[in-house]
Amino acid sequence: MASCASLLLLLALLATSASTSLAGNFYQDVDITWGDGRAKILNNGQLLTLSLDKYSGSGFQSKDQYVYGKFDMQLKLVPGNSAGTVTTFYLSSQGAAHDEIDLEFLGNLSGDPYVLHTNVYSQGKGNREQQFYLWFDPTKDFHTYSILWNPRHIVIYVDGTSIREFRNRESVGVPYPKSQATRVYSSLWDAEDWATRGGLVKTDWSQAPFTAAFGNYNANGCVWPSGASSCSSGTSNSWMWEEFDATSLKKLRWVQKNYMIYNYCTDVKRFPQGLPPECFAS
Ligand SMILES: *[C@@H]1O[C@H](CO)[C@@H](O)[C@H](O)[C@H]1NC(C)=O
């Protein structure tokens, strides 16, 4: 009887804490989904490495599914000649009308900069690319990449600096991700046909296996379907109502001015009928 009661208490505690999970243990938080041994969890769950060779890449996904959350991952990217390799960290739901928030790190020749390629899909529609250089060498150390997704906006952060905002513009008819459960995914794969200046530079397989490392995964989100109600109110989810203050806006402008190399919102040639409505300030 006593153990039954304490089990119920434990379950109740687990249920109330469904919206917050403490900094990560990869054994508990993710499933390795492909790569046939090329993905490895190390250091008691504190470190995960993905590798890529001529035959396969590798990847993992979160065990939990979310609608809204703040997701942090530390990454140390493939060093040296990484041209053709793509390391990803993204959120995605399933199906043709899926929602997706993408960070894709496009490798490069030794000494040439990585490109951080970002995109946002809502209800199956993407074409919202923005690309950035980073202000540091992402292969030397771990850096923190974050996705904030709440009812007001989606923000991508690099080491706490906002680099991209996608605001909820349902008011002007732009679908916003809000009702499809997403998982967190990461992968390392080869995309030499498009990632390297349109296929001009090929992957140098003599450097294989290529390895990227992941750490400090932290998902602080609304777990779906079970935890959905725990996220509709409450003060513990400070990310839920986070909006930009003057400092975040200043940082965003600094990055966009100095490090953004492509922005679909300024690509007028690509949208002869007019830029998408979310590109205009409200
Ligand atoms: C690689 O480096 C070149 C030269 O600096 C740069 O133009 C390009 O954007 C970089 N990224 C990729 C993915 O080719």
**Confidence at residue 3, expressed as pLDDT on a 0 to 100 scale:** 45
Q: How far is the CA of 112 from the centre of ligand 1 (A)?
A: 6
CATH number for position 106: 2.60.120.200
Is residue 104 annotated as a catalytic residue, yes or no?
Answer: yes
The answer to whether position 111 is within a domain reads yes
| Residues 6 or more apart whose Cβ sits within 8 Å of residue 128 | 119, 120, 121, 166, 264, 276, 278
Q: Is 187 in the pocket of ligand 1 (CB under 6 A)?
A: no
Q: Is 112 in the pocket of ligand 1 (CB under 6 A)?
A: yes
* SS3 label, residue 34: strand
The answer to whether position 192 is within a domain reads yes
The answer to whether position 15 is within a domain reads no
Positive or negative, the Cα torsion across 42, 78, 131, 61?
Answer: negative
**Confidence at residue 172, expressed as pLDDT on a 0 to 100 scale:** 94
Atom of ligand 1 nearest to the CA of 261: 9
Question: How many domains would you assign to the chain?
Answer: 1
Note the pTM of the prediction, 2 decimals.
0.89
* Residue located nearest, by CA, to atom 5 of ligand 1: 112
The answer to whether position 38 is within a domain reads yes
Beta bridge mates, 66: 182, 223
The answer to whether position 4 is within a domain reads no
The answer to whether position 11 is within a domain reads no
Domain of residue 239, residue span? 21-279
**Confidence at residue 282, expressed as pLDDT on a 0 to 100 scale:** 64
Q: What is the mean pLDDT of each run of 10 residues along the chain (282 residues)?
A: 42 40 81 98 97 97 94 97 96 96 96 97 97 98 97 96 96 95 97 77 94 95 70 65 89 97 97 94 70
The answer to whether position 10 is within a domain reads no
**Confidence at residue 14, expressed as pLDDT on a 0 to 100 scale:** 39
Q: How far is the CA of 195 from the centre of ligand 1 (A)?
A: 9
Distance CA 152, CA 177 (A): 10
Q: How far is the CA of 13 from the centre of ligand 1 (A)?
A: 50
Distance CA 142, CA 214 (A): 8
The answer to whether position 7 is within a domain reads no
